[in-house]
Amino acid sequence: MKKYSLLLVLLLAVGTVLAACGSSDSGGDGEWVKDVTVLTGGEQGVYFPLGGAMARIISENVDGVTATGVTSGASVVNSNDINDGKAELGLVQNDIAFYAHEGTNMFENVTNNFYGIATLYPEVVQIVTSADSGIQTVEDLKGKRVAVGDQGSGSEANAKQILDAHGITYDDLNIEFMSFGDAAGGIQDGNIDAAFITAGTPTGAIEALKASREVRIVSINPDKIKELTDKYPYYTHFDLPSSVYGTSSDATTVAVQAMIIVSKSLSEDQVYEMTKAIFENLDVIEATHARGKDITLATALDGMSIELHPGAKRYFDEAK
C-alpha cells in the first residue's frame, strides 16, 4: 500500500508541475512565443515601416516578448510563411487572406493556419508611369513593358484582375516581375514603361521616382471599376488626389484593405496582449507613416475577410 501511495503522490506532483508549466507558457489554447517575427514587405512599401513600428510596440509593451519586423515579399509570401510556421505575424491584403483560406487564385491548396487580428488602411492599386510616357489609359499598356509586382504577390493578383477586366492578358504585354523599388527604378531608367503598385499612399517607391521624373497615375474608368467591385467584393472605388504625388490630375482607381494576420498557434492571452498594445499605442504608428492615421479602433474590423483570432476578438469585445 505504501508503494502505491508513494507512486500516487509522485504522479500528482508531476501533474501539478506540468499543469503549472502549461498555463504559464500557453495562456490557454496555443502557445506563448517569446521571439515573435512580424513579416512586412519591401523596404519602399508601407508594410515595412508600419510592421516595424508594430514590432517595436509589442517589444516595449508585452512582457517577455521581443518582436522583430522582417522585410519580405508581402501578402502571398507572408500568408504562406505564417501558414508554414516560419513566422507569427504578418501584414497582408484582405483579398489575399481570403484567397488563402479558400485555396483559390494564387493558392493551390487551402492555406488557413492563421487568423485575422485587424484591418488597417486602404491599399490603393496604383498604375504608375512617367508623365511623358504617352500612357493615358489601361488599354494603352498593350505592347508596353509593365512591372506587375513580385511573382505571386498581391499586386500581381490585382494587376491580372484589372487587365482581365479590360480584355488584356500577359501575352499583350512585356511583363516584368519586380519589387516596387525596382519597378520605380526601371521607370526612372527608361527600362520599364509602367508598374502596378498596390500599397498605402503615399508609397515610398513612387515618391522616390517623382523626385527625378514627373509621374502619372493611370485612371481606371468608372464602368470598369464597377465591374471589378461587382466581381470582387473586396475592391472599393478610390479617388487619389493629385496632391499626393503632385500629378497634373486626380486619378480614379480601386483599393483593398491592409490587415494583420497571426498564426493560429499563438495563445489567446498573447494575441490579446499584442492587439491591446498595438491599439493603445497608435500614436507610434501614426508617427511612422501617414497611413498610420487610418488605423483606428472604430474601423479595425471593416473588411475583415477571415475569422478573428480569439485573443483579438476578446480585446475588441472589451474595447467596445
Task: Over range 241-257, report the average pLDDT.
Answer: 96
Residues 94 and 219 in one domain: no
Greater pLDDT, 296 or 106 = 296
Report the CATH number at residue 80.
Answer: 3.40.190.10
Task: Over range 249-264, report the average pLDDT.
Answer: 97
DSSP string, 214-238: -EEEPPPPHHHHHHHHHH-TT-EEE
**Residue 245 resides in a domain:** yes
pLDDT at 113 > cutoff 90 = yes
Residues 233 and 270 in one domain: no
110-136 burial, b if ≥16 CB within 10 A, otherwise e? Answer: ebbbbbbbbbbbbbbbbbbbbeebebe
pLDDT value of position 224: 97
Distance between CA atoms of residues 271 and 253, nearest Å: 35
Which has the closest alpha carbon to 209: 243, 249, 245, 252? 245
Residues 152 and 94 in one domain: no
Q: Do residues 131 and 248 make contact, with C-beta atoms less than 8 angstroms apart?
A: yes
| Range in 136-140, 289-293, 306-310, 312-316 with the lowest mean pLDDT | 289-293
Residues 41 and 77 in one domain: yes
Domain count for the chain: 2
Residues 101 and 132 in one domain: no
pLDDT value of position 254: 96
Residues 106 and 141 in one domain: no
- Residues 6+ positions from 127 with CB-CB distance below 8 Å: 138, 141, 162, 194, 195, 196, 197, 217, 218, 220, 253
Q: Residue with C-alpha cell 489575399?
A: 96
Distance between CA atoms of residues 310 and 39, nearest Å: 21
pLDDT value of position 13: 41
Pick left, alpha or beta for residue 130 (phi over 0 → left; psi -120 to 50 → alpha; otherwise beta).
Answer: beta
**Residue 22 resides in a domain:** no
Residues 49 and 135 in one domain: no
In the listed set 238, 256, 274, which residue is the last one of a domain according to the structure?
A: 256
pLDDT value of position 308: 97
Query: What's the mean per-residue pLDDT of the chain?
Result: 90
Distance between CA atoms of residues 312 and 310, nearest Å: 6
pLDDT value of position 9: 38
- 129-188 per-position pLDDT tens digit: 999 999 999 999 999 999 999 887 889 999 999 999 999 999 999 999 999 999 999 999
**Residue 15 resides in a domain:** no
Provide, rounded to the nearest whole percent, the portion of the chain with pLDDT above 70.
Answer: 91
**Residue 281 resides in a domain:** yes
In the listed set 207, 236, 256, which residue is the last one of a domain according to the structure?
A: 256
Residue 241, preceding peptide bond in cis (omega within 30° of 0): no
Residues 179 and 161 in one domain: yes
Structure-block grid coordinates of residue 19: 499543469
Structure-block grid coordinates of residue 191: 527600362
> What is the value of pTM for the model shown?
0.79
pLDDT value of position 11: 40
Q: Which residue range forms the structural domain that includes residue 183?
A: 123-256
**Residue 13 resides in a domain:** no
pLDDT at 3 > cutoff 70 = no
Distance between CA atoms of residues 8 and 41, nearest Å: 54
- 34-45 per-position pLDDT tens digit: 999 999 998 888
In the listed set 214, 234, 256, which residue is the last one of a domain according to the structure?
A: 256
